[in-house]
Amino acid sequence: MSKYNVLIARLRQELVKIKIAVQTAVSQADKAQNTGDLDYLQAAALSLQNFYMDVEQVFEQIAKQVDEFLPTGSSSHQELLEQMALEIPNVRPAVINPNTLRQLNKYRGFRHVVIHRYGFELQPDRVSTLVEELSLCYEKLNHNIETFCQFLTQIEQELSVQE
C-alpha cells in the first residue's frame, strides 16, 4: 500500500467530518433564527470555525505528503490556502479552483476572528451570511477534493504499473 492510497482515504474521511460541521452550523443557525436565541448563533460560529479547521487538516495532509512543504509562521494559514490553489509543475494540479479559494478565504478570516477575539465581536448578520453560503462552499470543496483524489488514484495506478 502506498502513501497516496492512505492519503485518499484520509481526505475522504475528513470530507465526512467537514460535512458534519456544515450540517451542524446550518442546524444551529436555523435554531437561532427560529428562537431568537443568540447562543445558537455563537454555536454556529464555532461550527464555522470547526469547518475551516477541518478544511485545513485536508490541506495540511496534502502539503505534507504531496507537496512536501507546509508553510509556517504568522501568515501560514493564508499561505497554505493559497498553496492549494497553485498548480505545482511536475508534482500536482491545483487542489482547489480560484472560486473555491475565494469562498474558503472568507471562512479562514472568520476563523481568525473567532479564535483571536473569542467571539465577543461576532456580528450576527456575518455569521448568518457565512452559514447561508456554507453548503455551496462545501459542495465546491468536495468536488475539488474528489477531483484531486482521482488525480492521486491515477498516480497510484501509474506507480503500480511501473513496479
If DSSP states are collapsed to H, E and C, what string results for 125-163? HHHHHHHHHHHHHHHHHHHHHHHHHHHHHHHHHHHHHHC
pLDDT on residue 1: 52
Single-letter amino acid code for the residue at 162? Q
Q: What is the DSSP letter of 94?
A: -
Phi, psi of 88 (to 5 degrees): -110, 105
Range of the domain at 70: 3-162
Q: How far apart are CA 6 and CA 80, in angstroms?
A: 21
- Which regions in the chain score pLDDT beneath 50? none
pLDDT tens-digit series, residues 78-115: 999 999 999 999 999 999 999 999 999 999 999 988 87
Sign of the dihedral defined by the CA atoms of residues 58, 28, 120, 124, in that order: positive
Grid coordinates of 140: 465546491
Grid coordinates of 14: 475528513
- pTM across the whole model: 0.93
| Domain count within the chain | 1
Q: Domain containing 130 — which CATH number?
A: 1.20.120.580
